[in-house]
Structure formats: structure tokens, C-alpha cells
Amino acid sequence: MPTIKITDATVEPLTLAEAKAHLRETQTETHNDLLITGLITVARQAAEDRLQRTLLTTTWLRTLDRFPACGGHVELYMPRVIAVTQVKYVAPDGAIPTLDPAAYELEPTAEPGLLLPAHGTSWPATRVRPGAVQIQYTAGYGDTADKIPKPIVQWIKLALTDLYENGARSAERPALPQEFADGLLDTYKIWSV
């Protein structure tokens, strides 16, 4: 039952100018701009991977073989869930209807987010097959970098510095002790059991 990224963030936690200032690169030098821009994305994605959390608004698709039994909930990974944009399912007759938004409720403050059938209802019957239920949703702290908690942005800056200055040997001898840098993320991490 995978969760697949459909669209990635359209902005990054750091602008090129902010990253260059952090790296002590002059704003007028442009020969490393593409490299720095790429490393910003790599650092953000590394943070998201470590946290199991979406930082900036991204669209996700969660698929299930069927709805949970007895009105159970569906976990929506990579929180914070902002909104459910659509729920489609394969009905027993093979039709693929879109579920009316009034038929379900989102509990966005839960992490991971929870999708439940509306109060007093249950999920519709589905044909049992891989991907019979498709839930598309958006998640993240918001559309702008200022919504991301500051410790996460600081971790991204540290990771960016490590990647920029050390490149391939980063994992062997990081510029900063990993325990300190990773500790910045602990409060925001989605821990699995």
C-alpha cells in the first residue's frame, strides 16, 4: 500500500541568495549557482526522508487494496496533511467513482493524518485488488519557507554546508557531528514503532 509523491514542492526552504550567504559565497559569483540550487533540494529531501514528514506543500497519492473494515481509518503518511483532494475507488461492478467529500472526514492534526468515514457512515464496498482505493492529498507546513520550523531550516543549512564543502566524503567525515545536527530534527520526526 504505497504512498507516492505526485508533485514536489514548488519552492525550497532556502533561496539561492540565503544559501550563498550561509555558505559565504559572494552574490555576484554565479559559477556555482546551479550546484548550490541542486544541493538545497537534496538537503530538503534528506530532511524529509529523515523526518518522514513533508516540509512544503506537496501532492501525495496513497493507494490501498480496499477500504479498512468496520469504518476504520486510513493513515495518510508524510504529514502535515493539508487537505484531501480526491478519493477514488473501484466499485464491485468495476466502476471508478469519486467519493463525495461529505462521505469522509480528515483529522489533519494526527501524525500521520487520519482519513475516516463521515460520522455515522462506513466506507463503500470495493473490488478487492491492488490499488482499488486511491487517495490524493496535499501535505506540508505550507507554501512558503517561513512556515517551516526554524530548527529544520537550520539542519538544512548544516546539511547544505556539509554537502557543498565535503561532497562525496560527507558520510565518512561530516563537517559537523551528526548527533548535534540530527538532534535538531528529533522534535519534528515521525517515529515508527
Return phi, psi of residue 160, to 5°: -60, -45
Return phi, psi of residue 189, to 5°: -75, 140
What is the per-residue pLDDT across 85-130, written as a single tens digit (0 to 9) for each? 999 999 999 999 999 999 999 998 899 999 999 998 999 999 989 9
Contact status, residue 68 vs residue 117, Cβ threshold 8 Å: no
Residue with cell 500521520: 112
Task: For the chain, give every domain's residue range.
Answer: 9-55+153-188, 58-139
pLDDT, residue 60, reads 97
pTM confidence score:
0.84
- C-alpha span between 56 and 11 (Å, rounded): 7
- Residue 189's H or E segment, with its range, is none
Question: When comparing pLDDT for 71 and 75, which is higher?
Answer: 75
pLDDT, residue 193, reads 45
Contact status, residue 163 vs residue 43, Cβ threshold 8 Å: yes
